[in-house]
């Protein structure tokens, strides 16, 4: 990490605080990840990206900025990366998953707020995250109440452009969302000084679709028994998907999948054959929030799928590539993005259909509903999720948690009992 001090100074990072943050991560990563047995070789790339998390990619981003590119930070899977790249900018997902930043967030936000919001706010205000420091602009969105209001605080530190995300999915909302995408395109064009052309948008749609296809391929392989890769490793890959160079990321995921294909042919897995298979559904798990996966997978079960925004919601739907004019392509983008099923929408019954479908496809034995503390939309929606699963006799357990380690032992006890009950 020491090689990057010049970079961090250049980015106006608070070096002392940043040293404190960086002192925690390597041991944590070692305990959770490097302790796993029989990991695929293809994980080495992703290990490298995380072990150099505040160096490698931020350095590339600074180099791109020096060549005139703009860096655009985003917080939600409804913000279309395709438009950002088509305007010759770089998109990076910024959600905060570390407890380290929560106290800084709590200096300006209520304590009884979702840790994800407090964490990313703290990351920006404490000047300890090079990704925030690299960003020229942040794109917010009107999803949950906490996020909606936090933009009014963060905009004192950096320019924020807020997209008005509808909360229903009627025909009029599809039109509104298409209009929002056009407004975002205009904003990005004025930021970069570059007009989005048909060719640029078509090629960025292809590029991001390829990334989604690679993730889909990876998830397909998790349907095997024994499962060829741990849920923890896949979670890490999904988290890296948000900020890595999309083309390199796609290539590395495909290389890993080739290796997993070979494992499957040999009947090799990272868990015993017939290990209990868990689906996690609920709120996103931003890096380095690995708590629940680590607990499940050190309790004898395998996480085989995540119905979350750091899981299937991120990659399942592709953008239709048949558009030839800008208008057609933006319409296709609007349709694809509004197909995502977040609890901020009402009604959101398609999410429940997705969960039931995924349970079937991934031959799931039990479901864990994961809720970040104080996330009202997912907490309320849990009632209907539970009811739908109970009607089909599918076991479900609710885990509500934050980013601290205070509840780890208690969660472990509950998860172990749940897995035992599945046997």
Cα 32 versus chain centre, distance = 18
Using CB atoms within 10 Å of the CB of residue 408, give its burial: 0 to 12 exposed, 13 to 18 middle, 19+ buried: middle
Q: Measured from the CB atom, is 42 or 377 closer to ligand BJ8?
A: 377
User: Residue 63 CB, nearest distance to ligand BJ8 (Å)?
Assistant: 28
Q: Measured from the CB atom, is 155 or 376 closer to ligand BJ8?
A: 376
Distance CA 138, CA 183 (A): 15
Q: Measured from the CB atom, is 116 or 227 closer to ligand BJ8?
A: 116
The residues that bridge with 303 in the sheet, in sequence order, are 278
Sequence-distant (≥ 6) Cβ neighbours of residue 404 within 8 angstroms: 99
User: Residue 270 CB, nearest distance to ligand BJ8 (Å)?
Assistant: 28
CA 382-224-272 angle, to 5 degrees, is 90
Contact call for residues 98 and 105 (beta carbons, < 8 A): no
User: Residue 151 CB, nearest distance to ligand BJ8 (Å)?
Assistant: 12
Binding site for ligand BJ8 (CB under 6 A): 76-78, 114, 116-117, 143-144, 146-147, 283-284, 309, 340, 342, 344, 372, 375, 377-378
Q: Measured from the CB atom, is 183 or 380 closer to ligand BJ8?
A: 380
Cα 306 versus chain centre, distance = 11
The residues that bridge with 267 in the sheet, in sequence order, are none
User: Residue 144 CB, nearest distance to ligand BJ8 (Å)?
Assistant: 3
Residue 117: which of 151, 92, 164 has the closest Cα?
151
Distance CA 169, CA 160 (A): 25
User: Residue 142 CB, nearest distance to ligand BJ8 (Å)?
Assistant: 10
Q: Measured from the CB atom, is 116 or 215 closer to ligand BJ8?
A: 116
User: Residue 73 CB, nearest distance to ligand BJ8 (Å)?
Assistant: 13
Q: Measured from the CB atom, is 78 or 271 closer to ligand BJ8?
A: 78
């Amino acid at each position: 990490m020491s090689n990057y001090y010049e970079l961090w100074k250049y980015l106006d990072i608070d070096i002392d605080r940043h040293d404190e943050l960086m002192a925690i991560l390597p041991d944590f990563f070692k305990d959770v990840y490097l302790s796993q047995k029989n990991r695929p070789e293809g994980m080495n790339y992703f290990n490298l990206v995380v072990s150099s998390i505040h160096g490698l990619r931020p350095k590339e981003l600074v180099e791109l900025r020096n060549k005139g590119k703009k860096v655009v930070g985003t917080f939600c899977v409804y913000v279309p990366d395709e438009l950002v790249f088509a305007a010759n900018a770089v998109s990076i997902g910024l959600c905060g998953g570390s407890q380290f930043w929560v106290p800084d967030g709590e200096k300006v936000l209520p304590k009884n707020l979702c840790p994800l919001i407090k964490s990313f706010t703290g990351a920006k205000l404490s000047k300890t995250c090079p990704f925030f420091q690299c960003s020229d602009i942040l794109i917010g969105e009107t999803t949950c109440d906490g996020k909606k209001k936090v933009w009014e605080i963060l905009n004192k530190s950096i320019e924020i452009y807020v997209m008005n995300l509808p909360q229903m999915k009627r025909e009029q909302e599809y039109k509104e969302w298409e209009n929002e995408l056009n407004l975002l395109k205009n904003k990005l064009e004025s930021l970069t000084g570059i007009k989005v052309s048909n060719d640029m948008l078509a090629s960025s749609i292809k590029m991001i679709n390829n990334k989604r296809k690679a993730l889909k391929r990876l998830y397909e392989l998790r349907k095997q028994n024994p499962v060829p890769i741990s849920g923890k490793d896949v979670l890490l890959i999904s988290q890296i998907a948000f900020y890595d160079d999309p083309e390199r990321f796609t290539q590395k995921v495909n290389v890993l999948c080739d290796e997993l294909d070979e494992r499957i042919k040999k009947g090799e897995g990272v868990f015993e054959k017939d290990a209990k298979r868990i689906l996690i559904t609920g709120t996103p798990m931003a890096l380095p929030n690995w708590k629940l996966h680590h607990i499940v997978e050190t309790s004898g079960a395998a996480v085989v799928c995540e119905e979350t925004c750091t899981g299937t919601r991120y990659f399942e739907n592709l953008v239709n590539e048949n558009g030839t004019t800008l208008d057609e392509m933006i319409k296709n983008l609007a349709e694809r993005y509004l197909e995502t099923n977040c609890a901020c929408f009402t009604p959101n019954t398609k999410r429940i259909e997705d969960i039931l479908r995924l349970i079937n496809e991934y031959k799931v034995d039990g479901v864990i509903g994961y809720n970040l503390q104080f996330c009202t939309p997912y907490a309320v929606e849990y009632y209907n999720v539970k009811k739908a699963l109970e009607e089909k006799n599918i076991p479900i357990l609710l885990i509500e948690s934050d980013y601290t380690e205070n509840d780890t032992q208690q969660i472990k006890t509950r998860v172990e009992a749940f897995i035992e009950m599945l046997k």
